[in-house]
Amino acid sequence: YAQAGYPEESVLVSHGFFEISDIDPVENYIEGTVVGYFFNDPEVSPVLAFSKKVKAAGDTLSDAFGTQLILPSSAAADSTHLFLVRTAAPLPLIEQDSVVIQFAQLVGSMAPDSTIQAINFNVPASLQIVDTSGVSATDPWRAYRFDDSNQKWVKISDARYINDTTFAITISNTGVYGVVRTGFKVNEYPVLSSFPDTTIVQNSILELPFNAYDPEGENLTFWTESNKTEVTVTILDTVLHVEPQEDWTGVATISLFATDGQDTSVSSFHLNVVSLTAIENLENLPVKFALYQNYPNPFNSTTIIRFDVPRAENVKIEIFNMLGQKVRTLLNNQLLAGKYRLRWDGLNDQGLAVGSGIYIYVFRTRSFVRFRRMLLVK
């Protein structure tokens, strides 16, 4: 933590909020899940979680938000390690079961080996949450419990206010509990069109119409980004205008952003700009579809794929590894009749170099499919 910029006194003192899944001494990293932080210097970071080994005779846990877990006598075994932490509200498995939770509270237990475990209380406990809104009388909280087995929120009917500012939920086991008001509303994100990954031929321009709106009717502001300086992206009305530099080939990530001033949505796609050359004139048009063996083969960095198109048709050429996973879409364009050659530079759709091995390239139209193998050696 000192290397990360924290002062020495801000050492993380509650190791129980981590689940370690992998330690690699060669690469020098530790991989795991962080449930919550507990620093012994509140000026560095507020206490987000609180843990304690409780007494069987009864005990209380409190967190930085004033939430309390009150355990009556015999609710848990002596020295049971419990913790409280505010957490992100989990999403249900089925979208129709969604509940807009204002905030969620995780009540958890640590096993002796510091893994997180679920426990049932012998006697129901009381989870008491402070409500400082001042509207508890007119717009009270409702309580929910997240059902892990069915992956959905379940309403708790007997939760109630025990005074003007304290909302009490009776709980029988550890888990995630949430509260929400009838009038609570979460700002909705702008809705944007999605774009498929697209291949265009070198020295051409791409124009993509898009739709966007805000569910609450707010005005939207748009902007674009390209991860390649060679590709310029602009917005003309509701059309995305993408123009690569002359003679440039490669893969670029194009992103369109929309914000309502509070939340921002983004729609991204990969643009594959390929070098495609017709190698015969119109007097020597092919009479049938054909896919030829690449050359050179084996190859080290780049190779040429030749194919014939006897009539105007949409042509797709894709590369797969021996596991059947798609590596690269080299071409997906409407072509005129002609004989063509296409270069593959050994990169995948993300612009990263692939490893040595056998690859399969597939030539596909509405009425014709052929494939061949090639060997990349590095």
Question: Residue 204: its pLDDT value, please?
Answer: 78
- Domains, the chain, with CATH or none: 8-181 (2.60.220.30), 191-270 (2.60.40.1080), 276-376 (2.60.40.1930)
Question: Residue 34: its pLDDT value, please?
Answer: 45
Question: Residue 163: its pLDDT value, please?
Answer: 92
Average pLDDT over residues 133-139: 83
Question: Residue 97: its pLDDT value, please?
Answer: 59
Average pLDDT over residues 88-104: 73
Q: Which residues of 275-296 are buried (b: 16+ CB within 10 A; e: fewer)?
A: bbeeeeeeeeebeebebeebee
CA atoms within 13 A of residue 33's CA, in its CB half-sphere: 6
Question: Residue 93: its pLDDT value, please?
Answer: 67
On whether the CB atoms of residues 140 and 183 are closer than 8 A, the answer is: no
Instruction: For residue 278, name the pLDDT band (cuts at 50, 70, 90).
Output: low
Question: Residue 280: its pLDDT value, please?
Answer: 54
Query: With 0-12 CB in 10 A as exposed, 13-18 as middle and 19+ as buried, what is 181?
Result: middle
Rounded CA-CA distance 107/121 in Å is 12
Looking at the predicted structure, is the pLDDT value of residue 100 above 80?
no
Q: What percent of the chain lies above the pLDDT cut of 70? A: 82
Q: 273: how many CB neighbours lie within 10 A of its CB?
A: 25
Q: Of 194, 195, 196, 199, give the one whose Cα is nearest residue 328.
A: 199
**Please, what is the average pLDDT of the chain?**
81
- Reported as a single tens digit per residue, the pLDDT across 190-244 is 899 888 888 787 777 888 899 999 887 889 999 999 999 999 999 988 899 999 9
Instruction: For residue 247, name the pLDDT band (cuts at 50, 70, 90).
Output: confident
Decide: pTM greater than 0.85.
Answer: no
Looking at the predicted structure, is the pLDDT value of residue 76 above 70?
yes
Task: Write out the two tokens for 104.
Answer: 């969620």
Average pLDDT over residues 313-318: 90
Query: With 0-12 CB in 10 A as exposed, 13-18 as middle and 19+ as buried, what is 359?
Result: buried
Question: Residue 281: its pLDDT value, please?
Answer: 52
